[in-house]
Chain A
Amino acid sequence: MTKEEATEKARKDLAKRLGIHDTQITDQSVTESDFPDMALGAAASGEMSGQMISKGWKIQLKAGNQNYEYRADKNQLRLYNFKGKNHKI
Chain B
Amino acid sequence: MNRNNFLPHVALALILILVAAFAGQLRKWQSQWKSRMRIIPAEEKRREPVNSIESAPYERHGLSAPEVLVKFKQGVSEDRVQQITQDLHDQVDDEIEAVPGLDVIDDLDDEAAEQVANEYRKLPEVEYAEAVFEIEADDFLPSPVTPSDPQFSAQWALFNDGSRGGTKGADISATYAWSVTTGSDKVVVAVLDSGVDYTHSDLASNIWIRPNNIAPYEDRELGTIQDFHGYNAVENSADPMDDNGHGTHCAGIIGAEGGNDIGIAGVNWKVQIMPLKFMNAGGYGTTKAAIEAINYVIDRKKAGVNVRVISASWGSTQKSRALEDVIRKAGEAGILFVAASGNASTNNDRTPHYPSSYNLPNVISVAALDRNDQLATFSNYGVKSVAIAAPGVDILSTWLGDEYEEKSGTSMATPVISGVAALIIAHEPNISVDQLRAKLLASVDPLESLKGKVVTGGRINAAKAVK
Q: Which residues of A contact B (CB under 8 A)?
A: 36-39, 41, 43, 45-54, 73, 75-76
Q: A48-B314, A49-B279, A51-B314 are in contact. Are A39 and B284 (CB under 8 A)?
A: yes
Q: A36-B343, A43-B284 are in contact. Are A50 and B378 (CB under 8 A)?
A: no
Q: A46-B320, A52-B246 are in contact. List 18 more A-B contacts (CB 8 A).
A: A36-B378, A37-B314, A38-B279, A38-B314, A41-B344, A43-B316, A46-B318, A48-B286, A48-B314, A48-B316, A49-B316, A50-B279, A50-B409, A51-B314, A51-B342, A51-B409, A51-B410, A52-B343
* Interfacial chain A residues near B313, Cβ < 8 Å: 50-52
Measured in the bound complex, the distance between the Cα atoms of B34 and A18 in whole Å is: 89
Measured in the bound complex, the distance between the Cα atoms of B194 and A43 in whole Å is: 16
Question: Closest residue to A38 on the B side, CB-wise?
Answer: B283
User: CB distance B408 to A47 under 8 Å?
Assistant: no
User: CB distance A50 to B281 under 8 Å?
Assistant: no
In the assembled complex, how far is the CB of residue A65 from the closest CB belonging to chain B, in whole angstroms? 29
Measured in the bound complex, the distance between the Cα atoms of B286 and A35 in whole Å is: 19
User: CB distance A48 to B378 under 8 Å?
Assistant: no
* Interfacial chain B residues near A75, Cβ < 8 Å: 281-283
Interface string of B46-75 (1 = CB under 8 A from A): 000000000000000000000000000000
In the assembled complex, how far is the CB of residue A42 from the closest CB belonging to chain B, in whole angstroms? 10
- Give the number of chain B interface residues (Cβ < 8 Å): 36
User: CB distance A52 to B407 under 8 Å?
Assistant: yes
In the assembled complex, how far is the CB of residue B391 from the closest CB belonging to chain A, in whole angstroms? 14
* Interfacial chain A residues near B281, Cβ < 8 Å: 75
Question: Closest residue to B320 on the A side, CB-wise?
Answer: A46
Measured in the bound complex, the distance between the Cα atoms of B284 and A45 in whole Å is: 12
In the assembled complex, how far is the CB of residue B82 from the closest CB belonging to chain A, in whole angstroms? 70
User: CB distance A53 to B286 under 8 Å?
Assistant: no
B412 interfacial contact with A, CB 8 Å: yes
Q: A37-B343, A75-B281 are in contact. Are A49 and B286 (CB under 8 A)?
A: no
User: CB distance A53 to B284 under 8 Å?
Assistant: no
Question: Closest residue to B342 on the A side, CB-wise?
Answer: A51
User: CB distance A48 to B407 under 8 Å?
Assistant: no
Task: List, sorted by A's number, 8 A–B pairs whose CB atoms are closer than 8 Å.
Answer: A38-B282, A43-B316, A50-B409, A51-B313, A51-B340, A51-B414, A54-B283, A76-B282
User: CB distance B285 to A53 under 8 Å?
Assistant: no
For the A-B complex, the count of residue pairs with Cβ-Cβ distances under 8 Å equals 97
In the assembled complex, how far is the CB of residue A63 from the closest CB belonging to chain B, in whole angstroms? 27
Q: Which residues of B contact A (CB under 8 A)?
A: 193-194, 244, 246, 249, 278-279, 281-288, 290, 313-318, 320, 340, 342-345, 378, 407-412, 414
In the assembled complex, how far is the CB of residue A66 from the closest CB belonging to chain B, in whole angstroms? 25
Q: Which of B345, B409, B412 has the most CB of A within 10 A?
A: B409
User: CB distance A53 to B314 under 8 Å?
Assistant: no
Name the one of A45, A46, A52 contacting B283, with C-beta atoms under 8 angstroms.
A52
In the assembled complex, how far is the CB of residue B385 from the closest CB belonging to chain A, in whole angstroms? 15
User: CB distance A50 to B194 under 8 Å?
Assistant: yes
* Interfacial chain A residues near B344, Cβ < 8 Å: 36, 41
In the assembled complex, how far is the CB of residue A45 from the closest CB belonging to chain B, in whole angstroms? 7
User: CB distance A47 to B246 under 8 Å?
Assistant: no
User: CB distance A48 to B279 under 8 Å?
Assistant: yes
Name the one of B278, B290, B316, B408 contacting A52, with C-beta atoms under 8 angstroms.
B408
* Interfacial chain A residues near B317, Cβ < 8 Å: 43
In the assembled complex, how far is the CB of residue A37 from the closest CB belonging to chain B, in whole angstroms? 6
Question: Closest residue to B280 on the A side, CB-wise?
Answer: A75
